[in-house]
Structure 1
Amino acid sequence: MDSYTPGTRIHHRKKNLGLSTKEYIKVTGTIASVRKGRQYEEEIDQEFVHDVETGRLHKGKGREEPSFIAEASFVKAPLNSRVGPSAAVPNAKGKAKQESLDRLPLEIQESLVLEDLLFVLTGIEGTYITYPNDYSIEDEDPLHGMRFVVTPSLDPSLRDLVERILPLATYYTGITSFIEARSHLDFGLVNHALCAAIREMLKDYQTLLAQLEHAFNSSPQFTLQKLWYYVHPTLHTLSLLYMLTSELASADDPSGDESASGSSSASDAEDDARNEALGLGGAKLKAVLNEINKNSQLGMNGASNIPVKGGEVLAILHERLQNMSGDPAAKQLYGVLMQAAGKPYVEMVRLWIRTGKLIDPYEELCVKESKFIDRGTLEVDYTDEYWERRYTLRDGATVGGSSKRHQAGVPAPRTPGGRLPGGACIPPMLERWKQKMLLAGKYLNVIQECGIEISKDSNQSGDEELSMEDDKFYKVIDDAYTHANRTLLRLLLRDQQLIPRLRSLKRYFFMSQSSFLTHLLDLAGSEMRKSSKSASIVKLQSLLDLALNTDAQGEDAMFRDDVKVTMATSGLYDWLLKVLKVSGAIGGEDGEAANLYEESKKDKTDKKSQMLAIDALTLDYNVKFPLSLVISRKTILRYQLIFRFLLHLKHVEQSLANMWSDHKTGPWRTLTRRTPGSASRPATPGGADAPFDWHVDFENWRRRVFLLRARMLAFVQQILAFATFEVLEPNWRKLEGKLEAGKVETVDQLLRDHVDFLDTCLKECMLTSSKLVTATSRLIVTCSTFSLYAASFTKEAKQALACAESPERDTARAKRWDTLGKFETHFNHWFKVHLNCVQFYASSENVSLLPLVVRLNSIKVPT
């Protein structure tokens, strides 16, 4: 829009216009008078340059130079040099007085408004099309675009046409402000790609303005109607862009983030230097602190301080694309923007699923990494934190499909739309693929941690450009997941010998076809009778090694060094009841049981000193990465629960068997003979005398002791046989058959089948019902206590026989019967309760208990 003088155009127009000389001079004279203001500005600029050269500017003449006032606007809008200072600065004092247009002909008004429109359409205030009187750049949000009003003196017909065109200026200024703001680094690669695509579209608009300017300068036939004709299609396009940018801008308040990031950048260098001097400059520490800060900020501020970026931008674009699918122009426009904005996201996904590398500098991807969790922690504690927490989805969804929005690190949804902010918002078209995306990269990371390079087969079609609208992209995700899954599964089953490991676990913890536990109980009997606090773990470990060396053969001998003795800090049944009361299940999705188990280790109570070593003894199992993903801490916990349950049963069985051995000798088999005066007539509580035969009474007492011991031993043996041969062995055969037959096709299925096997064993062993746990524990404790009274019963039997040989009265008879009666009453009561519970659960929710019902009914309860 270079300026021109009427004289330069007279000769050219005389050939083409067909106007009389008088009419042409009148038009050009009017236009020349309009441009006097521009010539006056140029004179002011020349005078200012002369003042600077002569040094008169600093000596007091000091007038306010308009070029400096407009300099800030000139940087962003170079065309400001075309207008005066009052036009360039909307809130500048002393605007140039507008000339009234109502006295001018329509042709002159149209020419003046046309020139103003060419300025206004680029965001520059004109002479007759200006900002509103109450408008201020400092107070207005630039992302909403600039507003313009037309002078009231313009002809109404022209004003109506101008007001139709003016929204273009608002759209253009709002879009350009959005591009300038969202091109900041903090807004991420998706916003950068979106802004680049919009900027490319605005080039067509700028080219159109240049062509319209050329037409205005060169063609007298260029009218306001023609301007409207040319910009009308562009108006719809810019309106679509403006609605998109407005929705993206209204979702957050990025100004606060920019100021916060700017203020904190200055102190980062000082903090780094101080931490380095104090020896705190490690990458791990920084990662931990960053994670803590993020979690605390998320907890306090929710989604208010997270800008719209990454997946949320793509989700908004996808929603607009779906809602405007009936408009062909909108569908095409948003489709182009979707493809351009999604390109960085697609590249990050492809890099993650093909190499396992997560390069997401602006936290836009739905997968996040906790850098403070690495493989080094697995060498000390073989937990599954690396698998479950190292790489997770930002929306908190787990492999099972549920979403834990309450967990730390998952931001709160945005209040208006209910949409998760930033990278936590997964684009709708990727929602059903998010688990495969997560697992594909996790599998590759596990493979790389084992020192295996990624095969080139997974990098096929690496140079092909894909988009989220392309079905090939989702086929790439599926193929990458399949390749990574098969590679890791083959690594676990073949190279890492998973099946032999699981067999050794079953042998040691389930006591299947093994006599090492009997040897251990025989060797460490005296040590296990001590309190758990005073028992020597080193001695118990050496005795365990000795028992394993005499019993382990072949494949089992390979892993016997991985079995370790440890002491629990709480009783098995107390801990089970606590877990079932709090979480309702052992394990669970959130791992409440595992958390309670770890917390119980930290409880400093006197229970450990009160427990016997036999009640606290358990086994642990050392396993290295990557087998720790399958044999994890949660699965080891389940193995330990079953082992402790079987250990108690085995210990009580051995104690009752020893008691039976004692009952075969000594006073228990001595025949009593009647002696004169051996019969007496003890007084009954009612005061009446009843006939009494001491020999019959003693025989009855011995017979009742034998019967109670036999019933207790039968109960323990039936529970132990049921758990071993009808629960653990069949379930293990099913799991082993799946693994050996290759029916397990994915690593997730392998993990799930292993945990399901253990959960099924726990349920069928009656360790997941509080009523069954209570009844079983009371019976086992009763049987164990009864076996501890074996020496007392033998002593009472000897005293009774000694009294029979002498005329002295048997004073301990009442105490002897009272002790035995308490054991009988307690055992009979809880046996009936236990049998009723087993029958109820067998008929309702646990059909596998039916064989146990038959076994328990064989143990007769005396009437």
Structure 2
Amino acid sequence: MNVPFTPRPRTNARKKNLTLSAKEYNKVSSTIASVRRNRERLDGDDEYATRRDHEPSFIAEESFVRAPLNSRVSGLVQPSPKAKGKERAERLDTLPLEVQEALILEDLLFVLMGIEGTHITFHDDYSPQDDDPLEGVKFVVDRSLDPSLRDLAERVLPLATYYTAITAFIEQRAHSDYGLVNHALCARMRDMLRDYQTLLAQLEHAFSSSSSFSLQKLWFYVHPTVHTLALLYHLTLALAHADDAPEDEGGSQSSEDDDLAARDAALGLTPLNPNIFSASATSAPVPVKGGEVLSILHARAQSLSGDPAARSLYSALLTAAGKPYVDIVRGWTRKGRLDDPYEEVCVKEARFITRGTLDMDYTDEYWERRYTLRDGSTASLDRRSQTPSAGIPPPRAQSGKLPGGACVPPALEAWKHKILLAGKYLNVIRECGIDIARPDSPVEDERRPRNVRGEAREEEEFGLDSAVFLRGLEADYAFANTTLLARLLAPGPGGLLARLRALRRYLFLAHAPFLPHFLELAQSELRRPARAASIGRLQSLLELALNADAHGDDAEVKGDLKIVLAGSALTDFLIKIVQEKGDIAHTNDGAVSEAGGEKGKEKEKLTALDALSLDFAVPFPLSLVVSRKTVLRYQLIFRFLLHLKSLEQSLSTMWLDHKSSAWRVLPSHASPDFEKWRRRVALLRLRMLAFVQQLLAYVTSEVVEPNWRRFEERLGKVGTVDALLRDHVDFLDTCSKECMMTSDAKLLKAHGRLVTVCQTFVLYSAPFTKAATLAMAPDGESSDAIRKRWDTLGRFEIHFDRWFDEYLGCVQLNASRENVALLPLVLRLHSIKRPVAATNSQ
């Protein structure tokens, strides 16, 4: 049997944070009003009788029962047990004006504290259970009151609404979920309400002691307070409704979701994953706190800047509410510690990212994502590698502002990036175990307030727009930047410049005589498949070659060089990046131990030489500059140069083979075309060697060296850490671009095929020598052997010419469109292009 579905009434979520429930609040108010109305005048001399007649719930509240206002209430007839509801008060129009005024004055003094009176009662539409307490309690005056007195009383009544709403707001926002900024704001509001309560106490004393106290005097005394409480009231409404969703979206959607969930529960249907269609499951609503509170305060202060009272009030509230925000920001920019338990400031920390991620971090998460801005904006200088930050809350539906700490106060909008960077710099220094010995700022010392003896006071309440605070932020940023920059650029073998020079020598192969020695020692191991090669044996041979290449400046960094084997061929890896329109920074050319899957067969063909690369370990904090992302760029350029160097060495070795008698002596019985065949083989070898040497000369002499000199000059003039990071990344990106490693896939494919043809031609060195030796034998060679050696040479010539022409065309196209730095390479390649006459003679 199906259970009928009954929609549940909507409840107001704000009431759950009140100290008292609505029912308890109504009960207390009713009890107080009942005691005040039904209390008989007691004789002050008979204290025992007085205590005996008091209700038990108010025995401990002598101050309330004996209050002057309570003593003026005349004894009323007790209601009969049969009476229902409130006792019907006597009509005021039957009483003299003096009595009406006294009764209304008495009620007003209660109503101004939020307590219902006898002749001033709650509005008929008001319900403590249903109405939002942050809207305030509405009161109405008995219509039988004299019109002139009623007009004055109704002028005073908004104070009661303001007071009850502000009090409810303070009680709600005192909860820990609303953060320190709300707590400071509520504390300042509570101080203002204390002045209001003091005023009411003075008015109560005047009412009980002065016979000349009138309603007109009451209005005279409270009139200035009406404007102040009205400003506070409208501020609380703005803060309370800042997170409200539009009625046509949020209210209907939430009610439909609740009804749907209740219907499914009644029918016994439970969704497999209730979070799939729940928006609250994916992103919990962010309360109005932190920077959003300060932004709303600032907006109201700007909109009412023509009102001196409003400007003064909101300035005081903004200063008081901003003090926790300022303290958190100053702790971050001066000490590198982010103490933000309620996520109120514009900087957030990803605690799961630690220094341990630097060893395998190919996206620079430690530097770029451990500390970020909550609004997702970035001052990163490598903008091409930036992706939208995760965890950014959606903006408010009504105001369009980001919620909570993601909303940056307008006064700090222009400073948020410096705030982020200053703390990040100091945090790096702290991670190094270095104490931050920061001298006091002379500007702040001069501006610090002093007492009557001229001594500087310890504390000063800095406003968000305070000139002293903003100058302090600038000084904090300058100090943090200078300190970290001096740490990074410290001279000596362990400094950044020494590490960069070592990278240039070993990974860019500048003045690196160890490489030919290493290739010769590891020749047999490098010919093996990448999966079968021994990294330990290759590492030992590398250390042997490095020790033979003694260089005093690099003695300490040679131990940081390690052999690694990439998981894919260089050309395939670069084509994948270009085709996916990605970035080198976000692609991990993983080690062979992590390879696997669909490309297993291709990796079986990958030799150790094709997969060979060098890794370079850099200690913290230098690893922020020479990060895994930048090391990957160095590795790609190293592999590009390594293939060319290895191919140049192989072609030179082939030239040594061609110096034997089989290639230099022409016997009389040799076939007529034998000499022509040998010349064609030698010419093809020379063209391949020229291609490799010209490309090597272009990369080393016209790309790496000029860019390195410019980069080294910029290092001497760098002024900030971010400029250092930018210059380093720009240097590597420029080298990659001018080396054609980030060009179109067609150019990369032509380059890869051209290198493959050259490598395969080197492998045919022995068969060619064998064919030449056979041709010089006295018996000669058969026609099939002659045709075979000519066919083999012809295929090499056809493939080399085809891919060389395609490669040259791609280089020319790129040089004319986007990369003018390739023009010198175009001139070099034209020198080895096969003449048309020679092609036609074949």
TM-score bracket for this pair, using the shorter chain length:
0.7 to 0.9
Whole-Å Cα distance in 1 between the matches of residues 39 and 497 of structure 2? Answer: 89
Whole-Å Cα distance in 2 between the matches of residues 667 and 648 of structure 1? Answer: 29
1:480 equivalent in alignment to 2:476 = yes
1:363 equivalent in alignment to 2:343 = yes
Whether the aligned pair in 2 keeps the contact of 1:672 and 1:695 (CA below 8 Å) is: no
Q: Which moved more, 1:749-758 or 1:611-620?
A: 749-758
Name the residue aligned to 2:697: 721
Whether the aligned pair in 1 keeps the contact of 2:565 and 2:592 (CA below 8 Å) is: no
Task: State the 1:37 CA deviation.
Answer: 8.3
2:563 counterpart SS class? strand
Aligned positions of 1:276-287 closer than 5 A: none
Task: State the 1:510 CA deviation.
Answer: 0.6
Name the residue aligned to 1:250: 241
Structure 1: which 5+ residue stretches go unaligned? Answer: 1-34, 55-64, 86-91, 255-294, 676-693
Task: State the 1:410 CA deviation.
Answer: 2.7
Name the residue aligned to 2:228: 237
Whole-Å Cα distance in 2 between the matches of residues 541 and 96 of structure 1? Answer: 99
1:764 equivalent in alignment to 2:699 = no
Which of 391, 399, 419 pairs up with 1:417?
399
Whether the aligned pair in 2 keeps the contact of 1:302 and 1:413 (CA below 8 Å) is: no
Whole-Å Cα distance in 2 between the matches of residues 80 and 36 of structure 1? Answer: 14
Corresponding letter in the other structure for 1:779: L
1:812 counterpart SS class? helix
Which of 765, 771, 778 pairs up with 1:790?
765
Name the residue aligned to 1:593: 587
Aligned positions of 1:167-316 closer than 5 A: 167-252=158-243, 301=281, 304-316=284-296
1:122 equivalent in alignment to 2:113 = yes
Corresponding letter in the other structure for 1:171: Y
Task: State the 1:522 CA deviation.
Answer: 1.0
Name the residue aligned to 2:39: 41
Name the residue aligned to 1:152: 143
Name the residue aligned to 2:432: 450
Name the residue aligned to 1:746: 720
- The 3 A distance-change label for structure 1 pair 650 and 297 is farther
Whole-Å Cα distance in 1 between the matches of residues 705 and 276 of structure 2? Answer: 49
Corresponding letter in the other structure for 1:836: G
Task: State the 1:631 CA deviation.
Answer: 1.1
Task: State the 1:363 CA deviation.
Answer: 2.0
2:555 counterpart SS class? helix
- The 3 A distance-change label for structure 1 pair 564 and 312 is same
- The 3 A distance-change label for structure 1 pair 658 and 579 is same
Overall identity of the aligned pairs, in %: 58
TM-score normalised by L of structure 1 = 0.79
Name the residue aligned to 2:529: 531
Whether the aligned pair in 2 keeps the contact of 1:384 and 1:628 (CA below 8 Å) is: no
Task: State the 1:483 CA deviation.
Answer: 1.2
Structure 2: which 5+ residue stretches go unaligned? Answer: 1-32, 77-82, 246-274, 446-457, 837-842
Task: State the 1:699 CA deviation.
Answer: 3.3
Which of 814, 826, 835 pairs up with 1:841?
814
Name the residue aligned to 2:652: 657
Q: What whole-Å deviation, never above 9, does each CA across 1:153-206 have from its counterpart, x for those lacking one?
A: 334444333333222111111111111111122222211111111111122222
Q: What whole-Å deviation, never above 9, does each CA across 1:91-119 have from its counterpart, x for those lacking one?
A: x9712223323333444333322222221
Name the residue aligned to 2:20: none
Whether the aligned pair in 2 keeps the contact of 1:304 and 1:414 (CA below 8 Å) is: no
1:457 counterpart SS class? coil
1:392 counterpart SS class? strand
Aligned positions of 1:69-88 closer than 5 A: none
Whole-Å Cα distance in 1 between the matches of residues 50 and 100 of structure 2? Answer: 38
- The 3 A distance-change label for structure 1 pair 333 and 369 is same
Name the residue aligned to 1:268: none
Whole-Å Cα distance in 2 between the matches of residues 342 and 600 of structure 1? Answer: 54
Whole-Å Cα distance in 2 between the matches of residues 36 and 534 of structure 1? Answer: 94
Whole-Å Cα distance in 2 between the matches of residues 828 and 175 of structure 1? Answer: 86
Name the residue aligned to 1:165: 156
Corresponding letter in the other structure for 2:692: V
Whether the aligned pair in 2 keeps the contact of 1:718 and 1:855 (CA below 8 Å) is: yes
Q: Which moved more, 1:216-225 or 1:176-185?
A: 216-225
Whole-Å Cα distance in 2 between the matches of residues 449 and 602 of structure 1? Answer: 34
What RMSD, in angstroms, separates the aligned Cα atoms of the two structures? 3.7
Task: State the 1:301 CA deviation.
Answer: 4.9
Give the count of matched residue pairs: 742
Which of 328, 333, 336 pairs up with 2:308?
328
2:118 counterpart SS class? coil
1:671 counterpart SS class? coil
Q: What whole-Å deviation, never above 9, does each CA across 1:751-790 have from its counterpart, x for those lacking one?
A: 1111111111111111111233222222112211222222
Whole-Å Cα distance in 2 between the matches of residues 117 and 377 of structure 1? Answer: 67
Task: State the 1:42 CA deviation.
Answer: 4.6
Q: What whole-Å deviation, never above 9, does each CA across 1:419-450 have from its counterpart, x for those lacking one?
A: 22222222111122122212222222222232
Which of 506, 516, 519 pairs up with 1:518?
516
Aligned positions of 1:87-126 closer than 5 A: 94-126=85-117
Whether the aligned pair in 2 keeps the contact of 1:298 and 1:411 (CA below 8 Å) is: no
The higher-RCO structure (CA 8 Å, 6+ apart) is: 2
- The 3 A distance-change label for structure 1 pair 151 and 603 is farther
Corresponding letter in the other structure for 2:723: Q
Name the residue aligned to 1:633: 628
Which of 691, 695, 704 pairs up with 2:672?
695
Whether the aligned pair in 2 keeps the contact of 1:659 and 1:787 (CA below 8 Å) is: yes
Which of 128, 149, 153 pairs up with 1:137?
128
Which of 344, 351, 361 pairs up with 2:331?
351
Task: State the 1:724 CA deviation.
Answer: 0.8
Whole-Å Cα distance in 1 between the matches of residues 583 and 537 of structure 2? Answer: 35
Task: State the 1:221 CA deviation.
Answer: 4.1
